[in-house]
Structure 1
Amino acid sequence: MSQIALRRVSKSFGSVAVCRDIDLDIAAGEFVTLLGSSGCGKTTTLNMIAGLEDCSQGDILMDGRRVNALSPVERDVAMVFQNYALYPHMTVADNIGFTLRMRRLGREDIRRRVEAVAASLELSHVLARLPSQLSGGQQQRVAIGRALVREPRIFLFDEPFSNLDASLRVRMRAEVKELHQRLGVTSIFVTHDQEEAMSISDRIAVMHQGRVEQMGTPQDIYARPATRYVARFIGNPQVEPVTGVIEAGMVIRLGAIGLPLPSRHAHLPVGHKVDIAIRPEHVRLGEQGIPASVRLVQPVGPTTHVTLDCGGHLLVASVPGFLQVAPGTAVRFELDPDQLLIFDHETGRRL
């Protein structure tokens, strides 16, 4: 296991800055996910940690040692790619043991280690098959096995499940999480899927426009987003912050609607422009409260997502069970002011 640190790491391709002043600290044995939309710099960051890309500036440290000039082999990292990168003419056993043969280990030692890894990944019965004879999930496990058999200090995963169907993705998440719990190897996982990141990570680094917007546990990032971007990006259904103005009497004015201002924000001056959001589970439909009309109803198994139009502002209520209500129906809702997420309109930072 290795501790990893990035210190003001940046990467530019020509005049295009892809990563900017990234600072990360990853503890030995931790599972950290780099999460963000396409083009945010997460894969480039992973490649710099792996040694596949050079830093334009900054330092990458492993166990306190600067490794900028070291190759991937010298860094002792193993990477699992999006496209599996299996050799189509080799059997599963040969694919898993390839790196060991390159190291010139003895045949019996290779066989023993390959069989042990295959057993841990439930691949023992397919060791003689070619990749084309495997399912997508089996191919992905072979790719993981090839990395695992090296016994590296660091695992790097670059969107490894993006080519799998939804149900298989869920199963593979569980397998990777169980694998990490069993081995405890420092792991960095890249994905654009926030549900995936929330389900497997010890901590998540949310990236946006080449920077780390926030790093924290899944619970912290969901409940206490540091910025407006993180609040929108994390959570399903997505919240849409709306702009309001602080009024006297501790009220946030949204057009014709006034919402109570949480007491922790009593210091905000009158006239200060803010963006507010609230998670769907904190919006309660009832017979009292703020009037709204139903815009959209989306049953999603154990809950129903109801989009409400409140004076031109849209918000979503997550209602337990299956709710039958027609679009256009007049309803009322209540919310807990202490659950409001309030951001500075200019900076986007949570207040």
Structure 2
Amino acid sequence: MTAIELKNVSKTFGSYTACRDVSLAIPEGEFVTLLGASGCGKTTTLNMVAGLEDVSSGDILMGGRRVNDLSPVQRDVAMVFQNYALYPHMSVARNIGFTLKMRGMDASEVRRRVEKVAASLELSSMLDRLPSQLSGGQQQRVAIGRALVREPKIFLFDEPFSNLDASLRMRMRAEVKELHQRLGVTSIFVTHDQEEAMSISDRIAVMNQGRIEQLGTPEEIYSRPATRYVATFIGSPRIELAPGIIEQSHGTAVCKVGSTAIPLPAQTKPVEAGRQVEVGARPEYVKLSDGKGVPARVRLVQPVGPTTHVTLDWEGGTLVSSVPGFVRLAPGTATYAEIDPSHLLVFDRASGERLS
């Protein structure tokens, strides 16, 4: 069953269009992330689903029912915000149970639900504390608990970890993913952090200029990006693309980058000779070599624990290679870069559409 469906949803603010023709169907129990840079429309889309923003055009359905004109309460959604939005004068227990109390629920039932949620989030020993006595990660768990205690049909997360330090963000990602695996509540998560999106999502909707540029699993988004924008937005370190032109060599299509001819992957769409393209490979498919591949020169070496990222200059521009372990290469060192042609990504230079 489809839990949430957006049909050609748009939102305008005066002459500015924040979202245009967004269509998305989310099955019950799925965890979908809206991913994109600031201003791409992801938070506006989430706010329309929540009922915090009106829809300019299009329809939002929940469980098959049109909800455009329903209030957030009537939609039975719970939202976790970036800034926690906890009541500073209330204890953890009172913060978590506040919405239940406001609904007039019996005090014993409120207490039962609060204690159950607190136990699941490892907050049982903190129920009497004030928010000021908690760490950032603990405060965010209280905010999640306040949403969870309502037992909603849908969870909405608006960049909930952006105020946390790196180690806490990683821990909270794991906690939210485990929580979703345990409860199976349909969830929409908004973030600009592509690593965060890749680690917790069933599917990712990459947004750009108010539209969904690609919707797919983390593997699909990373390995088979539909457009140049998705390819360069996803991945760390990012893929570097070089301008090229399609030529025929001995009856086989190749991409010519400067004087270098790179064979096209077997799965490349038919491309006519003379077509201008951009090509590149993810850093893990670029190997340093003693004599095979394209001549290159080391520009920058960045050890990051289990791998070393080596930035290279070559006639096509910039290339990045991810090498296992620690590599010691001085800037300016001459080397060769061997690009795995089976993992070459080819994009039409004009449209940005992937051809391979």
The answer for unaligned runs of 5 or more in structure 1 is none
Q: CA RMSD in A?
A: 1.1
- Counterpart check, 1:275 vs 2:278: yes
Which residue is equivalent to 2:334?
A: 330
Q: Check the 8 A contact 1:2/1:154 in 2, yes or no.
A: no
Secondary structure in 1 matching 2:284:
helix
Q: Check the 8 A contact 1:2/1:29 in 2, yes or no.
A: no
Which residue is equivalent to 2:77?
A: 77
C-alpha distance in 2 between matches for 1:114 and 1:123:
10
Which residue is equivalent to 1:114?
A: 114
Which residue is equivalent to 1:192?
A: 192
Residue 336 (structure 1) shift: 1.7
Residue 266 (structure 1) shift: 7.1
C-alpha distance in 1 between matches for 2:128 and 2:59:
43
Q: Check the 8 A contact 1:302/1:320 in 2, yes or no.
A: yes
Deviation string 1:66-117 (CA, Å, 9 cap, x unpaired) is 1000000000000000000000111100000000001100110101110000
Q: Check the 8 A contact 1:48/1:55 in 2, yes or no.
A: yes
Secondary structure in 2 matching 1:114:
helix
Residue 256 (structure 1) shift: 2.2
Q: Check the 8 A contact 2:7/2:24 in 1, yes or no.
A: yes
Which residue is equivalent to 2:15?
A: 15
C-alpha distance in 2 between matches for 1:189 and 1:266:
34
Which residue is equivalent to 1:232?
A: 232
Which residue is equivalent to 1:55?
A: 55
Q: Percent identity?
A: 71
C-alpha distance in 2 between matches for 1:162 and 1:106:
36
Which residue is equivalent to 2:146?
A: 146
C-alpha distance in 2 between matches for 1:161 and 1:278:
31
C-alpha distance in 2 between matches for 1:121 and 1:267:
53
C-alpha distance in 1 between matches for 2:6 and 2:293:
49
Which residue is equivalent to 2:94?
A: 94
**Could you say if the C-alpha distance between residues 252 and 305 of structure 1 is closer, same or farther in structure 2, counting changes exceeding 3 Å?**
same
**Could you say if the C-alpha distance between residues 75 and 2 of structure 1 is closer, same or farther in structure 2, counting changes exceeding 3 Å?**
farther
Provide the TM-score with structure 1 as the length reference. 0.98
Letter in 2 for 1:301: G
C-alpha distance in 1 between matches for 2:178 and 2:201:
12
Q: Check the 8 A contact 1:293/1:329 in 2, yes or no.
A: yes
Alignment of 1:264-343 (within 5 A): 264-265=267-268, 267-287=270-290, 288-343=292-347
Q: Check the 8 A contact 2:35/2:194 in 1, yes or no.
A: yes
Q: Check the 8 A contact 1:50/1:156 in 2, yes or no.
A: yes
